[in-house]
Structure 1
Amino acid sequence: MSEATTPRGLTPNARGALWMLGSAVGFAGMTVLIKFLGDDYPPALQTFYRQAAGFAVLLPIILHHRGAAFATTRPGLLLFRSGAGTIGMMLSFYAFQEMPLADANALSFTRNLWLVPLAAFVVREQVGALRIGAAVVGFVGVLVMIRPGAGGEFALGLPALAMLAASFLFALTITGMKVMTRDHSPTVLLVWGATLGLVLAIPGAFLTWRWPEPLDLGLLCLMGVMGTITQACYIKGMQLGDAAAMAPIDYTRLIFSAAAGYLLFSEIPTIWTLIGAVIIVASTLFITIREQQLARSARLLAAAEVQR
């Protein structure tokens, strides 16, 4: 992407960086609300409010386009993708409620590591030794975070397992999106995701339902809206800037979440969390930069073939 300045005086990457910072701050704020409300509202119920907020945001588009917004030839794949995303959301909400925010956020970045084997086995992409090696190193970072505990005991608990499983499920949804974008517009994918996500969240909400107090209802709705805004800011940032330049900024949510955990919940990251997080971030950054380099080389090669 060209670094020529825009009429606003900012390069595309600089504008994208601002959107990515907004996404990181919004994500940290959403996880604070997830944790704060977690004592009274279980993950399934919080997921329902999150999905309801996303559906409400997209409702004007649904009403305007109607049948065209749901045009698809592969409803089964869309259902699978939404199911994986909804279950992943519940698991991640559980992890954010039960784990220190810094630990949960660091483990959430393993989503990018899971994309490497999924790209090879599902999308049939060519995955080189460097990307495989980076993924292996990233999972070593996970072991550094979760294995050492008090007295050297194995510290892998249900919340950490939940976040790792959620990251895998989110990687599945991303892989599914790559497949679906070949013959579906982004609007159709968003509409199906929001609609099915809300429907699939209803059973869990029904089983754990409790009528919220007025203040809690406002916070639950705010949490859902912040999740939707966070996603929109992330998409906008990636749209404006180069992926390799935007990816490091996304990791600032580790800093915001660690600060929020310390100030609001008296959480102090351990040395194992810090070391493991550095390894995970470094490996996923390498994968992101490597993928963009390969994509750029492929575009240049295709352009050269056209000119011949």
Structure 2
Amino acid sequence: MWGLYAFGSAFFAGLTSILAKCGIKKADSNVATAIRTIVVLIFSWIMVFVVGAQGQIMDVSEKTWIFLILSGIATGASWLCYFRALQIGDVNRVVPIDKSSTILTIILAFIFFREEISALKLVCVVLITIGTYMMITKKEISQDETKGSHGWLFYAVLSAVFASLTSILGKVGIEEINSNLGTAIRTAVVLIMAWIVVFVTGKQHTIKHIEKNELGFICLSGLATGSSWLCYYKALQDGLASVVVPIDKLSIVVTIAFSYIVFKERLTIKSFAGLVLIIAGTLLMLV
């Protein structure tokens, strides 16, 4: 059953990237992140009350609080980097790098949870690594540097690192409580962090200038994120982190499909081959 939740997480995560990209064409990425986190928080707590898990909050242990807070901080950092990268870079190039967090997650899962790294899993890691490299080549990076727009790569890499930490910290944080409650608690941490960044950067005054259509997309991306999170942490609670995370990263298929439809971003033959390798490596994780 946790496998279905993992695939549900992938679908909604794929929608999130496209909806968010539509919502940050002009709006500041940090402000957009802060606004959409409000939507995610509301959605998360509604689910907590729907499943009747609100009463467990008084029984949350100190260890659980610590890891949920750390996971929330890592998530906030990943979001801020990811949506900044999306704002200044192409979806088809930002997303593959963000999804490469699978590799680091597998390593961390082995170190902290002693989850087995078999020969097949190593092959999968190699396929995902090669595929990611093929989707973003040195030549493309050099062209961006010439244009002065290479900053997206830096933010995309940071997003992947923090996303890996999020998965590991989150798995520990939801071991003893309902996954919906854990998601709601950590979302509150993300919300606080996101708004602190907005005020520190002095962008709060830009909120009133956000166009209605962009605000709509930002809110929709928040709903998609909330749905993805609820599925993801339910799967993470019941399944192996080293398997759940790769399935979740299949959201790249949804994202790239919609990026072609919405933004007319097309893959080169080499990029498509890279995508095939990433998908193959991810699916082999399920064997």
Partners of 1:166 and 1:92 in 2: CA distance: 5
| Partner of residue 161, structure 1 | 154
1:179 corresponds to which of 166, 172, 176:
172
**Equivalent AA in structure 2 for residue 38 of structure 1:** I
Match of 1:72 in 2: 61
CA displacement, residues 95-116 of structure 1 (integer Å, 9 cap, x when unaligned) = 2223322333333321322222
The match for 2:77 is: 87
1:46 corresponds, among 17, 22, 32, to: 32
Alpha-carbon offset, residue 57 of structure 1: 1.6
Give the Cα–Cα distance (whole angstroms) in 2 for the partners of residues 183 and 246 of structure 1: 19
Match of 1:297 in 2: none
TM superposition shift of 1:259? 3.7
**Residues 104-253 of structure 1 correspond to what in structure 2 (within 5 A)?**
104-149=94-139, 153=142, 157-206=150-199, 207=201, 208-209=203-204, 210=206, 211=208, 212-232=210-230, 253=251
Calculate percent identity across the aligned residue pairs: 20
Letter in 2 for 1:79: I
Q: Are the structure 2 counterparts of residues 27 and 144 from structure 1 closer, same or farther at C-alpha, using a change threshold of 3 Å?
A: same
Report the Cα offset of residue 193 of structure 1: 0.9
CA distance in 1, matches of 2:215, 2:69: 29
Equivalent pair of 2:76/2:190 in contact (CA under 8 Å):
yes
Q: 1:256 to 1:82 in 2, by over 3 A?
A: closer
Say yes or no: does 1:289 pair with 2:279: no
8 Å contact from structure 1 (residues 116, 132) kept in 2: no
Name the residue aligned to 1:59.
45
Question: Is the partner of 1:149 in helix, strand or coil?
Answer: helix
Deviates more, 1:191-200 or 1:277-286: 277-286
Q: Distance in 2 between matches of 1:105 and 1:98?
A: 13
Q: CA deviation at 1:276?
A: 1.8
User: CA separation in 1, counterparts of 2:56 and 2:43?
Assistant: 18
Contact kept in structure 2, 1:45 and 1:205, CA below 8 Å: yes
Matched, 1:258 2:256: yes
Of 273-282 and 245-254, more deviation after overlay is shown by: 245-254
| Structure 2, gaps ≥5 residues long | none
Question: How far apart, CA to CA, are the structure 2 residues paired with 1:33 and 1:222?
Answer: 7
Unmatched 5+ stretches in structure 1: 2-11, 291-308
What do the CA deviations read for 1:186-208 (whole angstroms, capped 9, x no partner)? 24411221211111111122232
Deviation at 1:83, TM superposition (A): 0.6
Measure, in 2, the Cα distance between the counterparts of 1:118 and 1:248: 14
Deviation at 1:235, TM superposition (A): 6.3
Checking the alignment, whether the CA contact within 8 Å between 1:82 and 1:196 is kept in structure 2 is yes
Deviations 1:59-91 (A, max 9, x none): 343797667326231233222211111110111
Maintained 8 Å contact 1:148/1:272: no
Q: What root-mean-square deviation, in Å, do the aligned CA atoms of Structure 1 and Structure 2 show?
A: 3.8
Count of residue pairs brought into register by the alignment: 274
Matched residue type, 1:268: R
Q: 1:97 to 1:191 in 2, by over 3 A?
A: same
Compared CA separation, residues 67 and 250, structure 1 to 2 (3 A): closer
TM-score normalized with structure 1 length: 0.72
Superposition TM-score, scaled by structure 2 size:
0.77
Q: Report which structure shows greater RCO (CA 8 Å, sep ≥6).
A: 2
